[in-house]
Amino acid sequence: MNTLLLHCRPGFENEVCAEISDQAARLDVAGYAKAKTDSAYAEFICNDAAGPERLMRGARFARLIFPRQWARGEWLALPETDRIGVLLDQLKPMPVCSSLWLEVLDTNDGKELSNFCRKFEAPLRKALEKAGRLKEGGHGPRLLLTFKSGREVFVGLAEAENSAMWPMGIPRLKFPRQAPSRSTLKLEEAWHHFIPRDQWDERLAPGMTAVDLGASPGGWTWQLVNRDIEVMAVDNGPMNEELLESGLVGHYRADGFAFRPKRPVNWMVCDIVEKPAKNAALLEAWIGEGLCREAVVNLKLPMKQRYAEVKRLLERIADGLAERGVKASIGCKQLYHDREEVTCHLRRL
Ligand SMILES: C[S@@+](CC[C@H](N)C(=O)[O-])C[C@H]1O[C@@H](n2cnc3c(N)ncnc32)[C@H](O)[C@@H]1O
């Protein structure tokens, strides 16, 4: 059990390696990271068996930027027949688990394996319950089985409250038919990730005000309007007519980097594709000057050294706010709906 497996978006394996190595150094967990390009996962191999659990206990999964899911455990070869028997043997020395997720990697091979997992899940669950290895709702960790093929699985554990909210870290969000663009799901996913569900009614409340910078055609504005929030939509491009007719949207044809609301608003969101340093500075200014209480801003990633660059920008935001004497929580995640970008969330405390 000396391996920590981390899922990610294909192509971001090096970022996960850099980020988890950073965490391991901070926590004094000896080991090394390795990954194959486009495999959609990375591994951190610890020098001792207690390493992965120490790493997981010392880091908050939700605070990691690039990993979508993680689990401590090891790879297991499966036979053609009696896979369940071999899995049960492997699980014997492990704690009784409180839930079971079958996962695949975010690759074409992984997608093809999803069907196999769906069929395999019910008999496996039954066998685990019968053998006393799975007690739904108990206090044990979650059992995460990541299938690389029908013959190879990573048998892993993770605490449900310190791992991905959804299997493979992929949210099942339904595209709202009336929304004018697919980007709408990015803001919805950001809220799921950064705002605990039981705080939505208070932090995304009807009657609140928001500024949406780079709003056209209105996917993000739609999410805000859907919660009865009044929106100043800033973009030279056209806004969706239905949104304008909602009575909750004002369209401002202006430069998002120069626009300032007359009065502070509850939310600022920004989906302008610009140099990440420019968007980060905008975010720091809005929160720092008290123009908004919370903000969600996308940061486009550079071609290389993507983790190092994001880390540098987050440090710059934190330093800027500290210089102003402003306290804020700062979160950053590459969401499932993000491509070559990450999403930042700041909240003034
Ligand atoms: C990715 S799109 C936004 C999509 C939008 N969030 C949605 O969900 O429909 C980026 C938008 O930023 C706008 N934009 C680019 N530079 C801008 C600037 N300096 N000020 C305001 N808007 C800008 C573009 O016109 C474009 O509509």
8 SS3 class: coil
Q: Per-residue pLDDT tens for 25-38?
A: 999 999 999 999 99
Taking the CB of residue 172, how many other CB atoms lie within 10 A of it? 7
Assess whether the C-beta atom of 181 lies below 6 angstroms from ligand 1.
yes
Q: What's the average model confidence in pLDDT over 10-28?
A: 98
Q: How far is the CA of 186 from the centre of ligand 1 (A)?
A: 14
Catalytic residues, which ones? 300
Query: Among candidates 60, 62, 66, which has minimal Cα distance to 16?
Result: 66
Mind listing the pLDDT tens digit for each residue in 240-283?
999 999 999 999 999 999 999 999 999 999 999 999 999 999 99
| pLDDT tops 90 at residue 154 | yes
Model confidence at 230, pLDDT cuts 50, 70, 90, reads: very high
Nearest CA to ligand 1 atom 23: 214
Angstrom distances, CA of residue 252 to CA of 204, 231, 241, 332: 22, 10, 14, 28
- How many angstroms does the Cα of residue 154 sit away from the middle of ligand 1? 42
Q: Cα(29)–Cα(23) distance, rounded to whole angstroms?
A: 8
Which tokens in the block code for residue 103?
């996962």
303 pLDDT band, cuts 50/70/90, is: confident
Identify which of 189, 242, 272 to mutate to test ligand 1's pocket (most ligand atoms within 8 A of the CB). 272
Closest atom of ligand 1 to 218 CA is: 9
Is 82 a pocket residue for ligand 1 (Cβ < 6 Å)? no
